[in-house]
Structure formats: structure tokens, C-alpha cells
Amino acid sequence: MSKLSDQPTSLRLPAWLEDELEEEFERAGMSTSEGMRRALEEWWALRAYDRIEFREGLTGRYAAVRGGPEVWEIVMVASSYGEDREGLREHFGWLEAEAVDEALDYYERFPDRVDDRIEENERVGEALADRLG
């Protein structure tokens, strides 16, 4: 697998599409380069993982199992199961085993995105504990 290239990639887009993308990326707080990279990664992931979808939430876009939990939730639970993939599949018994596997495969490919969601969840949990505590 190659690392992120330092070489820029040129792309010709119709003016209307370029304008729409720039507005979308600006709303999301991303540069055009970062936004295009994310859009292409999502496109690739949708083709590679049949059971993964992307949802829009208060803290941005995130990967989830179609009709099921977010990928970060599966990853958090997986940490308590260690190498016991079968136990993890049983924990999420309402999901197809392949969906759990795809969520973990997605995490292997995009760990930073998932780890960011886990860290955000932990921050919110700590803030709530402080307020209630």
C-alpha cells in the first residue's frame, strides 16, 4: 500500500460542480484538497464495503453499518473482546457476521477517522460525568 503522495493530482471539473464542492467543504471546515480526498475515500469505501454507509451527524460524517451501529461503536466493543472475533459477532448478534467484519476492516483502513469518533465519545462522557458527578 502506498503512502499519501506528495504529488498533486490535477482534476478538471465543471464550474458548477467545483462551486458546489467548495461550498460543501467550506461548510464542513475542510480545504478543497481535504474535502476531495475524503469524498474519494468515501466513494472507494462504499464500493469496497457493501455493508458500510456514511451518515451525517452533529460532529460531521461518519461510517456506520447499514441499518446498524456506527463503526466506532463496534470498534470500542471489539477492544473488550480482544482476538475473540466470534464473541464480538455474538455481541452484535442482530447484525450479519460480515457486517461486523467489514466494520473492523474499515477501521483497519481508516483508523484515524474511527479513533477521532471514539475520542469524541470519551470527551463527551467525561464532560457529562463531571457535570453529574
pLDDT, tens only, 21-50: 999 999 989 999 999 999 999 999 999 999
Within-domain flag for 101: yes
Tens of pLDDT, residues 14-23: 999 999 999 9
Within-domain flag for 9: no
Same domain, 44 and 61: no
Domain count, the chain: 2
Within-domain flag for 4: no
Give me the pLDDT at residue 121, please: 85
> Is residue 8 predicted with pLDDT exceeding 90?
no
Tens of pLDDT, residues 70-125: 999 999 999 999 999 999 999 999 999 999 999 999 999 999 999 999 998 888 88
The CA-atom distances, in angstroms, between 68 and each of 5, 73, 74, 90 are 34, 10, 10, 15
> Is residue 51 predicted with pLDDT exceeding 70?
yes
Give me the pLDDT at residue 124, please: 87
Within-domain flag for 30: yes
Within-domain flag for 86: yes
Alpha-carbon distance of 102 to 100, in angstroms, equals 5
Q: Are 32 and 22 in contact (CB under 8 A)?
A: yes
Q: How many CB atoms lie within 10 A of CB 116?
A: 15
Same domain, 65 and 40: no
Alpha-carbon distance of 63 to 100, in angstroms, equals 13
Give me the pLDDT at residue 5, please: 64
Within-domain flag for 109: yes
Same domain, 41 and 66: no
Give me the pLDDT at residue 4, please: 62
Within-domain flag for 5: no
Within-domain flag for 90: yes
Which residues form the domain of 22?
Answer: 15-48
Same domain, 125 and 72: yes
Same domain, 72 and 126: yes
pTM, full prediction: 0.84
- pLDDT, averaged across the chain: 91
Same domain, 102 and 114: yes
Give me the pLDDT at residue 48, please: 97
